Amino acid sequence: MEKLAINGGEPVRTKPFPSWPVVGEEERNNLLEVFESKKWWYGERVKEFEEKFADFQDTQYGITCTNGTAALEVSLLSVGIGPGDEVIVPPYTFVATASAVLRVNAIPIFADISLETANLDPIDAEKKITEKTKAVIPVHFAGLPVDMDAFNNLAKKHNLKIIEDACHSWGSKWKNRGTGALGDCGAFSFQMSKNITSGEGGIILTDNQEIADNARSYINCGRGKDKPWYEHCLLGSNLRLTELQAAILLGQLTRLESQVLKREENAKYLNERLKGMLGIKIIDSDDSRITRRSYHLYQFRYLKEEWREVSREKFLDALQAEGIPASSGYPHPLYKNPLFLRKGKGPRFCPLSCPYYGKEMDYNQVSCPNTEKICKEAVWFSQSVLLGDREDMDDIISAVKKIRDNISVII
């Protein structure tokens, strides 16, 4: 048996995986053109990117903003979510999915995920619907589209709005249509780690003109469509993207298609070689309605009971020592964050400390078993790892096998 690197042996690899972000002459030329034009503020480049990204995602309207968090908040406002409304969200996601609900004075209600996909479970979501439920925010987690047929059926049955958190799913397609406007609207992020980035930035997509006009007003200081410059119609804010950010994003967009396909190809290769390995459970879907899969993360579940009870953390230490950059992801469900557990403590915030809700919410009582399980088992690889070549993917497989073969001597 080969000696594990964590025990002083030679690592499987020492060279780095592809770095992020990927930049080229497209970004440089676009930036220089905008810089020299001295037109840096919310103009033609922003409009061009909005149109091109909306077209890339098979959607009619695109409204850019400062970041993905703002995109979620504006989406909620634009479909009419407000004080005391309940919005169903998954607890296995970035905090913005739920905090955006609080920011519009509504109530996040957590429903569990599926262990097979890490996406919001429509069956559990329906169980959480009450007379106060007004919307659901399904997250296309790691780029894997949720069952949009099921959620749109829920919406129709219970008169709900569907806001897609598509912040991981640039390029993903459900039944040959891009994510983002498969429900009422959807939010994307262009933060630094994301698969298309300008450091920060976001966009709201929709096929509904009224939602698009509302969103445009909310991000542009409440100005109305075709109204005088100093006439403000909604309680908006200054959430506008700049021409410099749009210039970068237009450059990034030129290679997004090929990167989506590259990540998809590499992830499929990893799936084929890891899914039969004892103690590794692939998190993915073979749903034929998913016609293209973007990957913001590649993930699997580590089942320690099949690895002689060696903890996931020990496994990750060993994997990293072999030169494979892996992480554990979220340490706990969102509802276990101090933000949701500080009942009666710290600064007051609406709606939980205001009269809008009409009843009491105690997140200490929330339990989503699948989410709690996956928080203990998930192993993540970042999207940039999947931009490597076949040899890079083989190194990941070799490292996992090496640890598997030496599990009895792991420190």
- Give the number of residues written for the chain: 411
Residue 408: closest CA among 291, 264, 309:
309
The yes-or-no verdict on residue 351 having pLDDT over 70 is no
Tokens of 240: 């506008």
pLDDT at 344: 47
Residues marked as catalytic: 194
Tokens 């892996």 correspond to: 326
pLDDT tens, position by position, 147-188: 999 999 999 999 999 999 999 999 999 999 999 999 999 999
Distance CA 301, CA 312 (A): 9
Percent of the chain clearing pLDDT 90 (strictly above): 92
Question: 372 Cβ partners below 8 Å, 6+ apart?
Answer: 332, 333
Distance CA 271, CA 252 (A): 27
Contact 195/294 with Cβ under 8 angstroms? Answer: yes
pLDDT at 343: 55
Residue 267: closest CA among 282, 254, 255, 278:
282
Distance CA 89, CA 86 (A): 10
Question: 192 Cβ partners below 8 Å, 6+ apart?
Answer: 21, 199, 200
Domains of the chain with bracketed CATH = 25-252 (3.40.640.10)
Question: 158 Cβ partners below 8 Å, 6+ apart?
Answer: 126, 129, 133
Distance CA 210, CA 46 (A): 20
Average pLDDT rounded to a whole number, residues 25-46: 97
pLDDT at 350: 62
pLDDT tens, position by position, 221-250: 999 999 999 999 999 999 999 999 999 999
The yes-or-no verdict on residue 317 having pLDDT over 80 is yes
Residue 154: closest CA among 184, 179, 176:
184
Contact 395/12 with Cβ under 8 angstroms? Answer: yes
Contact 308/408 with Cβ under 8 angstroms? Answer: yes
The yes-or-no verdict on residue 354 having pLDDT over 70 is no
pLDDT tens, position by position, 271-298: 999 998 999 999 999 999 999 999 999 9
pLDDT tens, position by position, 358-400: 888 889 999 999 999 999 999 999 999 999 999 999 999 999 9
- DSSP character for 141? G
Question: Which residue would you say has higher pLDDT here, 381 or 348?
Answer: 381
pLDDT at 358: 83
pLDDT tens, position by position, 196-217: 999 999 999 999 999 999 999 9
User: pTM here?
Assistant: 0.96
pLDDT at 362: 87
Question: Which residue would you say has higher pLDDT here, 349 or 363?
Answer: 363
Give 47's pLDDT tier (boundaries 50, 70, 90).
very high
pLDDT tens, position by position, 116-146: 999 999 999 999 999 999 999 999 999 999 9
pLDDT at 349: 58
The yes-or-no verdict on residue 323 having pLDDT over 70 is yes
Distance CA 295, CA 118 (A): 13
Percent of the chain clearing pLDDT 70 (strictly above): 97
